[in-house]
Structure 1
């Protein structure tokens, strides 16, 4: 917890707080020694390539458009909730998230610059795009998640995306139920 708080928080709690939480079961020196041991074992490598890192990179090519990026963040989080995304690379999920967000907001084509920053062509994105549209078209499965992104703070991303999916679902999946039920990803 001590390491995680230092990594994630702007102002991390002091080691004294952790001693207190541990009911004085450890001294401050023991906590700091354990911290050094764990960090050395990890070779001080605490980062991993998560989808948000890739979304930020693609956002560069999109001039950091806040609305596109907010919709993209909602779509990224979908991949954490639906098991069908687990087999796909985080970078591909991020690319598909940005692609779909741009499509919904009518921000233009997936051009060469976006493809370079994303690392994926429009064709490579299509299978993930279809999964995302299918998720958005279905009933709300995670109400708290949906409500969070339905707020003004998140630009009503969940509402915008689900409304778009309801209106455009058949354009992207020819025979949606049959194709997704069979487990194969439909082709465009």
Structure 2
């Protein structure tokens, strides 16, 4: 809670506006875009009793098979406790397998199973269609601008982490060279 403003129980009946120096329109658009971007996967996940945390774990394990638990914690910026329940469910339901590391058997490497890969793709397809439709509506030539904008929204000290993800343009294992 920023500051210790005096608590005034009287209702405020005027909406926040741009006069406050905050770009509320963009903030609202991000809220609405996120709501709709996650709505289709949320329905698919709910059928298995899963939520968005499961989606994030599945996404990154599928993007980076062999990712260690420690690396996943770093990517997601969550605690071991937060990951433990979600990961256990994904392992117990046969979506992910956990194997000891080849060099350090204490490390746990995570791999998708066929079932986990199928679910990750089922979650990504409607999101990909939504992105594709938005790019068609705004113009495909804007893709680079949109990517740069989204990356700029990430904390500066964490942007290199994005560049190092497998499959990203310019990284080892990407399709561009």
**TM-score, L = length of structure 2:** 0.35
